[in-house]
Amino acid sequence: MAEEELRRAKHSLIMTARRELSVSGVEEVSGFNDESVTLVTAIGELTVSGGHLHISKFSQETGELLLDGEIDCLRYSESRKEKGSFFSRLFR
């Protein structure tokens, strides 16, 4: 299995009635409030938008996250993780 396929196999979403979301392959939660949750996943950054959002469970060891609330939008983008140290990025 190619590296990209392996990374994709580690990530999945299960949404129930736009009220509950289960996500696997989460590497970190990079930001959250009651209207938006931003996750770094195995295949890029995932932003969940809506209202009254609440992270009910997150395990960094397994990469599993459970979210509930009014889910309006799921949006993927490329990960914003920068390679290199802080100073190497600062002095490009």
The whole-angstrom separation of Cα 22 and Cα 16 is: 9
Position 5 scores a pLDDT of 57
Instruction: List CB contacts of 12: < 8 A, sequence separation 6 or more.
Output: 23, 24, 25
Q: Are 67 and 23 in contact (CB under 8 A)?
A: yes
The whole-angstrom separation of Cα 1 and Cα 54 is: 35
pTM for this predicted structure: 0.76
Position 27 scores a pLDDT of 92
Say yes or no to pLDDT of 36 above 60: yes
Position 6 scores a pLDDT of 54
Residue-averaged pLDDT of the chain: 85
Which position has the higher pLDDT, 7 or 50?
50
